[in-house]
Amino acid sequence: MKTIDELLAEGVAGKRVFVRADLNVPLDGTTITDDGRIRAVVPTVTRLAEAGARVVVASHLGRPKGAPDPAFSLAPAAARLGELLGADVAFATDTVGESARATVAALTDGQVAVVENLRFNAGETSKDDAERGAFADQLAQLADVYVGDGFGAVHRKHASVYDLPARLPHAAGYLIATEVGVLKKLTEDVARPYAVVLGGAKVSDKLGVIDHLLEKADRILIGGGMAYTFLKAQGHEVGISLLQEDQVPTVQGYLKRAEELGVEFVLPVDVLVAGEFPDLKTKAPAHPATVAADAIPADQEGLDIGPETCALYASKLADAATVFWNGPMGVFEHPDYAGGTRAVAQALAGSEAFSVVGGGDSAAAVRILGFDENAFGHISTGGGASLEYLEGKTLPGLAALED
Active centre residues (catalytic): 37, 202, 360, 384
Q: Which residues, in sequence order, are CB contacts of 109 under 8 Å at separation 6+? A: 13, 14, 52, 53, 54
> Residue 159 and residue 165: Cα distance in Å, rounded?
9
Across the strands, what pairs with 301?
Answer: 274
Q: Which residues, in sequence order, are CB contacts of 20 under 8 Å at separation 6+? A: 58, 59, 146, 147, 148, 149, 150, 153, 160, 161, 164, 397
Residue 238 · residue 342 · CB < 8 Å: no
If you count them, how many residues does the chain have?
403
Q: Is the dihedral of CA 18, 23, 29, 30 positive or negative?
A: negative
Residue 164 Cα distances to 12, 190, 337, angstroms: 18, 34, 43
3 state DSSP class of 87: coil
